[in-house]
Each structure stands twice: as C-alpha cells, then as structure tokens.
Structure 1
Amino acid sequence: MDTSIHTKKLTLFALTWPIFIELLLHMLMGNADTLMLSMYSDNSVAAVGVSNQILSLIIVMFGFVATGTAVLVAQHFGANNEKSAAEVAVVSIFTNFVFGLILSLIVFVWSKDLLLLMDLPTELLDEADSYLKIVGLFSFLQALIMTIGAVIRSYGFTRDTMYVTIGMNILNVIGNYIFIFGPFGLPVLGVEGVAISTSFSRLIGLLVISYLLIRRVKHGLHFKKIFRLPRIHLQNLLKIGIPSAGEQLSYNSSQMIITYFITIMGTQALTTKVYAQNLMMFIFLFSIAISQGTQILVGQMIGARQINHAYKRALKSLKLAIFISAAMAIVFSFFKEPLLSIFTDNQAIIKTGGVLILLTIILEPGRAFNLVLINALRAAGDVKLPVYMGILSMWGICVPIAYVLGIHFELGLVGVWISFIVDEWIRGIVMLWRWRSRAWEKKSFVSPVENADITA
C-alpha cells in the first residue's frame, strides 16, 4: 500500500491559503469588536482587552486536546489508517467537551476574582466582568469548534473551516452593530452586547462545522462507543497535548503578568497595547498560517515515513515565513499612523503605537522561527523541548526584561516590546538547532505495525 497517496495530493499553498483566510477572519472578528467598541468608549476597549487576556488563557487550555488531535489525525491519515484517525477524533471531541464545560463554569463563577487578580482599574471592572461572564460561560463552544476544526484540517479540508469562520464573522459583525449602535430603536448594550454576539456566532459556527465533520470523516464517528475505544488514543493525546499546552500556557500566563505591568503604566498604555497588537496580528498572521499548513504536511509525511521530505519542508516553510513577516512589518511601518488612526484620534496613543510597530520589524522574523519550527517539531512528536525552552525564556528572560525596562527604567511599552524581541529570537534559534539535529525522527506516534509496508 502506498501510504504517500495523501501527501502527494496536498501542497503547502493549497493547505495554507484557506488557513490564512480563516485566521484573518478570526482576527477581523476581534478587530471588529475593538473598532466598533472604540466608537462607543476607549474604556470599553481596555475592559474587553483585559477580559480577552484571561479568555485566551482558557482557550490555550482547550488547545491542548486540539493540538494533540491535529498531530495524531495527520499521522494516522498519512499512514492510511483512517479507522484510527476517526477514533482519535471521537476521543478528542468528547474529552474537550467535558473539559470545556468545566472551565466555562469556573470562569463564569469566578470572573470578577480573575479580573481583580489583574489589578484592573476600578472604572473598567464592571464592563470587563460582564463581558467575561457571558463569553466565559459559553467558551466550551470554542473548545468544540477548535477540536472539530483540527480534525477537518488534518484530513486536508482546510476550506471547510474557512467557510465556517466567514459565516461566524458575518454574524458577529451584524450582532455588534445591533447591540452597540441600537438601530431601529433597539437597546444599546455595549460590551454586554458584544459578548452576546460573540457567543451566538460561535453557537451557529459549531452547528455548521459539526455537520461538515460528519460529511468528511468517511470511516464514521462512533460516539456511542466512546468508552470502548483504545485508551492509547487518549494517552497519546495527553502526551502531545499537555506539553504543548504547557508551552502555550507559559506564554499566555507570562503575557498576563506583562499585562499587569502595563496596567501599572495606566489605562492609556493598556489601550495602546490593545491597538498595537491588533495591527501586529495581521503581520504574524502569515507565519501562523504557514506554520499550521506545515504541521499538517509534516504530520502526514511522518505518518508515511517520508522523513527527509518532512525535514526539508519545515526549513522551506521557515524561510518563506521569515521573508513574508519581515516584508509585512516594513509595509505596516510606512502606514503606522493612518492605521492607528482607524482606532483612535488620541495623538499620544498614535505616537507610542507607531514606535511599537517599528519594533515589530525586528520582532516578527524571530516569532516566525518559533511558529514554524515548534509546529513542525510537534507534528513529528517532539513536544518536550519547546516547553522547557519556552518556560525558561518567557519567565527567565521576557518577564524580567519587561519589568526592568518597562517599569524600573520607565521605558514603558517600548521596554516591553524589547523583551518580546529578545524572547522570540533566543527561543527561535534554539528551535532551529533542534530541527537541524533531527532528534525528532524517532518520536512518531504511528506504530511500526501501521506503516510496516513502507519501512519494510
């Protein structure tokens, strides 16, 4: 049996452009919230920004199952073992559903306590709590969307999740317009309305993506047999997912600490960070899309035991991501003031935000190293080193530098951005060394029995 049949049909471009559109629309959804709220109140922008910092940490927790799902499904699919791929899908969806419900209830019950831990300014607390309670309670919907999306993308159907995201964005923007501006005499709900709109669009998105999953997985999804499926699938999910989540958890929690530093600088600094990062997301969007497409290809190549192809694919993807991210950062730097003026007319915010955009010219190529190579290592089953290095760099380098430069030496947000640059480049260089060492070659989660026909 030729287990390379799947990988021959897929190219990086064919996988990546729908992922790019999907990610772009995800970011546009967040920016739509920010832009529409900026017409309502700058304080509302800051309140939602801090709430989303907490929610992003929750989404990382959901991501540990989705990440393991993407790797295992891709490897089994690459090895032409669609039965095991379908079993992994069932175990993953059920696991993240239960886990998502638990975390959703925790956020809903303790939302105000979580915000107080961030030392949020008093004037922002009520709006932030309202947003966090609503979006947090229904965040399990995102857990399911992430897991089902990971399955569908690993099968190579990246357009499906793109179409779902388009629909979710349209619904979200319409909902934002209704609740923020109150057309036809409807009540203006502000932040609370944005939260309702976000949650409703996710509910509809989940229903549609579930339908697409049933259509795409030809082998069948047997949820009634969930407790009789091989335990090895859950074990492998945890082997990949927990370390991968550890790296993301370390990143997001360190970002929460840095956000706390920024709250010390004041509401204006917090608002500037939100606007600058909203623009920066469009720059590193290309690297994220390339890294996710690369993860699918590398995972399938590893499953098919095409080791040299996997090695070269990751390095080619890295070069492409570095070039595009650097070019985009330079383009954005030329238009930094008009872009920031979309969100605000506060000249102090525009001036500081412009400096941060300039610093991204150095930052983003370093981030490309981490996005592409960590995903490639993860696809090969090599998940521990990125975690160890991430914890060491984020907490031993990024957080201390952010405090020393940003607070102690009073460089403010510029000091914080310098800490980001140092962290990304140090970790990126270590990830490149690890990939070139090829220590990941023997870490596949597909058993020799499954691909014995290729290795024989």
Structure 2
Amino acid sequence: MKDNQTDRRHKLTLFALTWPIFIEILLHMLMGNADTLMLSQYDDDAVAAVGVSNQIMSVIIVMFGFVATGTTILIAQNLGANNNKKASHIAVVSICTNVIFGFGLSLVLFLYGRQILLAMNLPEELMSTALIYLQIVGGFAFVQALLMTLSAIVKSHGYTKDAMYVTLGMNVINVLGNYILIFGAFGAPALGVTGVALSTAFSRGLGTVILFIVLYKRVKGELPWAFLVQRFPKEELRDLLRIGIPSAGEHLSYNTSQMVITYFVATMGTAALTTRVYALNIMMFAFLFSIAIGQGTQILVGHLIGEKRYEEAYKRCLRSLWIGMSVSTFTAFTFAVFREQILNIFTDNTQIIQLGSILLILTVILEPGRAFNLIVINSLRAAGDVKFPVYIGILSMWGVSVTVSYTAGIWLGLGLIGVWIALIMDEWLRGLLMLRRWKTRKWEKMSFVSEDKEKENKTQQG
C-alpha cells in the first residue's frame, strides 16, 4: 500500500489534479445555478429568498469546513513525508469531528432559522420562503459537513476524479429533483422553493453515501477506526485545530462580512438583492479556474513541503498564480462582452439586467485580484503559514470591503456599484499582500510534519 502511494505521489501533476477538481467545482456551481435558474422561471422573489438563505449557509459551512481544510493540508504533508500512519489517523479523526460539529449546527439552523433571517434584515415578503429553505437545507447541514470531509480525504490521496464523478451524479439527481418538485412534473406536487430544498438535501445525502463507499474502497487499509477506542486523539485534534481554526477564521471573516454587506444590499430593495444573486452566480464561473488551480496547487505544495522540496513549492505557487489570473480574467472579459444575453437567461426585468451588466463589467477588474487570494493563500496554508492570511483578511474585509460598501453603496448612493468597488479594493489589497508574504519564504519553517518526522526518524534509528 505504501509503495503504491509513493509511486502515485510522484505521478501527481497540477493538470492531473486540477481538471477533475475544475469539473467537480463546476458541477457544484451548476447545482447552485440550476436552483437559481429553475427558480427564476418560478418567481424572482423566490430567487432572492434562497440567495439570502444560502448566504447564511455559506457561513455555517465554514464552521465545519475548517476540519476539511486541516484534513487536506495535514494528509498531503504527511503523505509527502511518507508518514502514512499519521495521515490515516487524521482521516478518521476528521470524519468523526466534522459529524459532531455538523449535527450541532444543523440543530441551530432548524430551531433558530427565523431569528437568523430577521437579523439579516430580510424583507417580510421573503421571510416564509427563505425560512422553509433554510430549515430544510440547514437541517441537513451535517450531511454537507461529512461530504466535505470525505472529499478532502479522497482528493488529498490524489483521487480527484472520484470526487468529480460523485458530484456529477449529485448534479443529475438535483436537477431532476428540481424539475419534478418545483413545477410538479410527472404528477408530483408543485412545491416551489420547498421542492428545491428537498432535492438539494436528498442529492447531497446520496452523494455522501456513495463517496463514503469510494473512500472505503480506495484507502480502507489506511482508516484504522479502532484506534479511536484505544486512546483520545489529542495529537490529531491539536494538528487539525492548529491549521483549521486560523483557516476557518479567514473564511468566517469573509462570509460574515458578506452577510453584513447583504444586510446593506437588503436596504436597497428586493431588486438589488435579486441582481446581486444573479451577478454572483455568473461571477462564479469567472473564478472557477482559480479555485480549481488553488486547490490543486494546495495539494501539490503540501506534498512538496512534506518532502522538503521548498524551491519547487515556491515556483509551483507562482506558476499557478499566473495561470489562474490569465484564465479567470479572460473568462470575466467574455462574460462582460455577452453580459445582456447572459442575464436574459435568468430574467426579463430591465432594471436587473441594466444594473447586472455594470457589475459584470466591473468583474473584469475584480477577478485578477481574487486569483491572488484563491491561489496564494491556499499555498501559504499548505506550507503551514495559516495565521498571516487571517490577520490581513480581517483587516481588509472589514476595514475595506464592509466600510467602503457602506460608504460608497449607501452613504454616497452608488448602490450595488459601490459594493462592487469595495470588493475590488479588498481583493487586490489582500492579494498583493499575500504575494509579498509568499516571496519572503517565511513559510519554509512552518511545516506541520517536520518535527514529528524528525522524532520518528530518531526513534527508528535508535
């Protein structure tokens, strides 16, 4: 088993890792866009309601996403260092930990969904619709927690295609379920937003079961469940928290700042909320390449750091950055050129189309800055430098993104255009600071496995 894993690591390339991740994330995005597109044929207000609920779900996912982040980095570094035993222990601990977190957060969303939506300043006419969606999808948030963890383990071992195939199946089931339950096809009841929520929850649940089977077949010899009974996994939890909590802090800061911005946008009216949802869904495709390249680079850099091949890790990040910037910018430019035709797919509301078109033009400036954060930050985390992105992120997201959104969007009356200007400033500032940090190469001394591996080698030699 170990020899096969060693051979597999040496065969890993950015392209081999990235293209399945690209397809997987594309399918995840298509799942969300399918919900939006199919709901847009049902009711524009329903789109706004689901958009706000998903904003809340993004924050909740970060709460247990920190375990998945730590899992990816720790397993990659330990496999790179040929410390397979510890990698397997981390996999088991991460699964159990995220299930516990997931159940707790699912309960909070189900019981206190209305209070959370009220805190978001959601218009009253959207409340009942948003609450139904949040209680169903949020009530099964633990499934998403487990799905993320299993996917992280599989991809860290290099099996990115497996995660892609599972996501493809989830997409097919989700779209079919939407069609049947939104519009009442084949004699089923027309449930609208409730149908979308049920379809989303079911497809994720089925995907989780299948991915667990895949994981068991791929690395079953590396998942020693029995050791959890033998001792409390203090060391593994410590390592997960050392990476996961700072990493989650950066994600949590971003998502909560976006919730505050959503609160600002909500004061601009339902049309502004709906426009933002459409624009964000379209923008996802522009930075899709950077996300995929960032995740693939994270896995590669983690393996290289575990093997102490620091120079290769340094160059790998910079090459990935320029690729991600180039492709995402080109994609954003293409969307800007065909902005009206794309928006017409979602809505025929002239006000939404006009405002959304301006936002898509501004996205051409936004995307290169976002590529810095999606690729360089992932590389810093993979190398063990997890605190610096949090410090800079909190300062920039709140000091620039939120502050300028309010000042330009509400105080100066620029609306969503002011919000987009704030996003551009935030992404570019953080991105340039992250690149400067990477070039200092301070991360070379921050590996999470170096000390453990040295101790293990001394023990073996003794």
TM range (shorter): over 0.9
Q: Counterpart in 2 of 1:328?
A: 331
CA contact (8 A) 2:93 2:233 kept: no
Q: Counterpart in 1 of 2:144?
A: 142
Identity, in percent, stands at 61
Q: Deviation at 1:450?
A: 2.4
Kindly provide the amino acid, as one letter, of the partner of residue 64 in structure 2.
F
Aligned mates of 2:152, 2:355 — CA distance in 1: 38
Equivalenced residue count is 455
CA contact (8 A) 1:58 1:103 kept: yes
Q: Counterpart in 1 of 2:441?
A: 438
Q: Counterpart in 2 of 1:269?
A: 272
Q: Deviation at 1:309?
A: 0.6
Q: Counterpart in 1 of 2:20?
A: 18
Q: Counterpart in 2 of 1:164?
A: 166
Kindly provide the amino acid, as one letter, of the partner of residue 95 in structure 2.
I
Q: Secondary structure at the match of 1:217?
A: helix
What TM-score comes out, normalization by structure 2 length? 0.96
Kindly provide the amino acid, as one letter, of the partner of residue 304 in structure 1.
E
Kindly provide the amino acid, as one letter, of the partner of residue 358 in structure 1.
I
CA contact (8 A) 1:7 1:301 kept: no
Aligned mates of 1:145, 1:202 — CA distance in 2: 8
Aligned mates of 2:452, 2:368 — CA distance in 1: 40
Kindly provide the amino acid, as one letter, of the partner of residue 426 in structure 1.
L
Aligned partner (choices 103, 107, 110) of residue 108 of structure 1: 110
Aligned mates of 2:219, 2:64 — CA distance in 1: 22
Q: Secondary structure at the match of 1:219?
A: helix
Q: Counterpart in 2 of 1:393?
A: 396
Aligned mates of 1:175, 1:370 — CA distance in 2: 35
* Residues 274-293 of structure 1: per-residue CA shift (max 9 Å, x gap): 00110000000000000000
Q: Secondary structure at the match of 2:49?
A: helix
Q: Counterpart in 1 of 2:418?
A: 415
CA contact (8 A) 1:4 1:304 kept: no
Q: Counterpart in 2 of 1:44?
A: 46
Aligned partner (choices 295, 304, 308) of residue 307 of structure 2: 304
Aligned partner (choices 316, 319, 326) of residue 313 of structure 1: 316
Aligned partner (choices 424, 437, 453) of residue 427 of structure 2: 424
CA contact (8 A) 1:108 1:133 kept: yes
* Residues 373-408 of structure 1: per-residue CA shift (max 9 Å, x gap): 100000001000000000000011110100010001
Aligned mates of 1:7, 1:366 — CA distance in 2: 31
Q: Deviation at 1:253?
A: 0.2
CA contact (8 A) 1:87 1:229 kept: no
Q: How does 1:35-434 map to 2 (within 5 A)?
A: 35-227=37-229, 228=231, 230-434=233-437
Q: Deviation at 1:325?
A: 1.0
RMSD: 1.6
CA contact (8 A) 2:37 2:346 kept: yes
CA contact (8 A) 2:60 2:105 kept: yes
CA contact (8 A) 1:373 1:431 kept: yes
Aligned mates of 1:63, 1:80 — CA distance in 2: 26
* Residues 230-255 of structure 1: per-residue CA shift (max 9 Å, x gap): 42111010000000000000000000
Aligned mates of 1:184, 1:93 — CA distance in 2: 38
CA contact (8 A) 1:83 1:219 kept: no
Runs of 4+ in 1 over 6 A off after TM superposition: 1-4
Aligned mates of 1:226, 1:30 — CA distance in 2: 37
Q: Secondary structure at the match of 1:110?
A: helix
Structure 2 segments unaligned to the other structure (5+ residues): none
Q: Counterpart in 2 of 1:450?
A: 453
Q: Deviation at 1:448?
A: 4.1
Kindly provide the amino acid, as one letter, of the partner of residue 17 in structure 1.
W
Aligned mates of 1:7, 1:371 — CA distance in 2: 23
Q: Deviation at 1:82?
A: 1.5
Structure 1 segments unaligned to the other structure (5+ residues): none
Q: Deviation at 1:81?
A: 1.6
CA contact (8 A) 1:90 1:222 kept: yes
Aligned mates of 1:448, 1:111 — CA distance in 2: 45
Q: Deviation at 1:6?
A: 4.5
* Residues 97-155 of structure 1: per-residue CA shift (max 9 Å, x gap): 00100000001000000000011101000000000000011010000000010010000
Aligned mates of 1:302, 1:195 — CA distance in 2: 41
More deviation in 212-221 or 295-304?
212-221
Kindly provide the amino acid, as one letter, of the partner of residue 377 in structure 2.
I
More deviation in 180-189 or 359-368?
180-189
CA contact (8 A) 2:24 2:163 kept: yes
Q: Deviation at 1:8?
A: 2.3
Q: Deviation at 1:4?
A: 7.1
- Structure 2 CA distance for partners of 1:31 and 1:127, relative to 1, 3 Å: same
Q: Secondary structure at the match of 2:89?
A: helix
CA contact (8 A) 1:214 1:220 kept: no
CA contact (8 A) 1:66 1:146 kept: yes
Q: Deviation at 1:229?
A: 5.6
* Residues 336-373 of structure 1: per-residue CA shift (max 9 Å, x gap): 10100000001111111010000011000000001101
Aligned mates of 2:285, 2:410 — CA distance in 1: 28
